Amino acid sequence: MARRQLLGLGFRPDAIKHRVAKGRLHAVGRGVYAVGTPHLTRHGRWMAAVLSCGPDAALSHESAAALFEIRADRGGRIEVSVPAHVSRRPPGIVVHRRARRGPWELTVHHGIPATSPVCTLVDLAARLSRRQLEAAVNEADKLDLIDPESLRSGLENLTGRAGVAMLRDLLDRRTFRLTRSELERLFLPIARRVGLGPPETGATVNGFEVDFYWPELNLVVETDGLRYHRTPAQQARDRLRDQAHLAAGTTPLRFTHGQVRFEPEHVERTLDLVARRLRGGD
């Protein structure tokens, strides 16, 4: 607890001093006390760091990511964010100052004030590789801390913050959704480049309506609007469709809309290899 909290509860300064002398309170920082024991857990150290930085402080960056369990705790100095006017710099703590901070940037997790998952991921984006950032987003999604759609919309409140552009680009590639006409406009030229003729679109194959179908090759291509956060029911339906096609001797291929839009070389290469195999290697 912070000294200001104890005073707010009605403890007089001499009463605080008496409890310190009796071992009921243990100083773990300037104006911060552990109750009952001087030995702090990891959560206790995080809380002590936040309390030592003032009433408007919040755990942030790698420390907040470790609190949310979207990144492993790498030890080192604890990171805390404070409003720009706060001048405290407790030893052993990395203090980040925010020029402005909206209510959507803060939360409380396990009783500890912290930057929100959206804000934490933006802070991480400024220092992580794309692969590391994608892993952190995946963990946050898996833990139901965020979903990609709300994360993407939440970035609008943080425009101009370092890391927003990288995170937006990552999300746009994964949650990108094309209209039917846009999908056909981008996908059909890829199919033509690998020597495939016009496919049937919206045809029913093996009891399922499919996106693209080449009957001469018995090839189905399905496209998913989202890579992230497909529900278990959606995933089960996808597996059922693919299994039905395979059981009937149909070859199913599945791409995301983001791949069609942002990774056409990968789509073309994969489609070409599969088409060659189905033609018998010609």
Q: Is residue 10 part of a domain?
A: no
In terms of Cα–Cα distance, which of 137, 102, 95 is closest to 120?
Answer: 137
Average pLDDT of the residues in 55-81: 93
Average pLDDT of the residues in 21-25: 79
Tokens linked to 108: 């409380």
Q: Is the pLDDT of residue 52 over 50?
A: yes
Of 143, 175, 207, the domain-final residue: 175
Of 124, 146, 175, the domain-final residue: 175
Q: Is residue 167 part of a domain?
A: yes
3-state helix, strand, coil in the chain (%, to 5): 50, 20, 35
> Quick one: pLDDT at residue 103?
75
Q: Which domain holds residue 250?
A: 180-279
Q: Is the pLDDT of residue 242 over 70?
A: yes
The verdict on 98 and 225 lying in the same domain is: no
Count: domains in the chain = 2
Q: Is residue 20 part of a domain?
A: no
Q: Do 271 and 237 meet the contact criterion of CB atoms below 8 Å apart?
A: no
Q: CA 117, CA 196: separation in Å to the nearest integer?
A: 45
**Segment holding 248, helix H or strand E:** none
Q: How confident is residue 281, by pLDDT bands cut at 50, 70 and 90? A: low
Q: CA 111, CA 90: separation in Å to the nearest integer?
A: 21
State the chain's mean pLDDT as an integer: 87
User: What region does 207 belong to: left with phi over 0, alpha with psi -120 to 50, or beta?
Assistant: left
The verdict on 109 and 222 lying in the same domain is: no
Q: Do 60 and 89 meet the contact criterion of CB atoms below 8 Å apart?
A: no
Helix, strand, or coil (residue 269): helix
pTM assigned to the model: 0.66
The verdict on 108 and 231 lying in the same domain is: no
The verdict on 143 and 254 lying in the same domain is: no
Q: How confident is residue 229, by pLDDT bands cut at 50, 70 and 90? A: very low
The verdict on 156 and 259 lying in the same domain is: no
Q: What is the CA radius of gyration of the chain?
A: 27
Q: Is residue 9 part of a domain?
A: no
The verdict on 218 and 166 lying in the same domain is: no
Query: 89 vs 80, which has greater pLDDT?
Result: 80
Residue range 155-202, pLDDT digits in tens: 888 888 889 999 988 887 766 667 788 889 999 999 999 999 999 998
The verdict on 212 and 233 lying in the same domain is: yes
Residue range 254-270, pLDDT digits in tens: 998 888 888 899 999 99
Query: 40 vs 254, which has greater pLDDT?
Result: 254
The verdict on 163 and 198 lying in the same domain is: no
The verdict on 164 and 227 lying in the same domain is: no
Q: Is residue 252 part of a domain?
A: yes
Backbone phi and psi for residue 14, each to the nearest 5 degrees, phi listed first: -70, -30
The verdict on 171 and 76 lying in the same domain is: yes
In terms of Cα–Cα distance, which of 175, 187, 267, 182 is closest to 224?
Answer: 175
Average pLDDT of the residues in 15-35: 80
Q: Is the pLDDT of residue 240 over 50?
A: yes
Q: Is residue 160 part of a domain?
A: yes
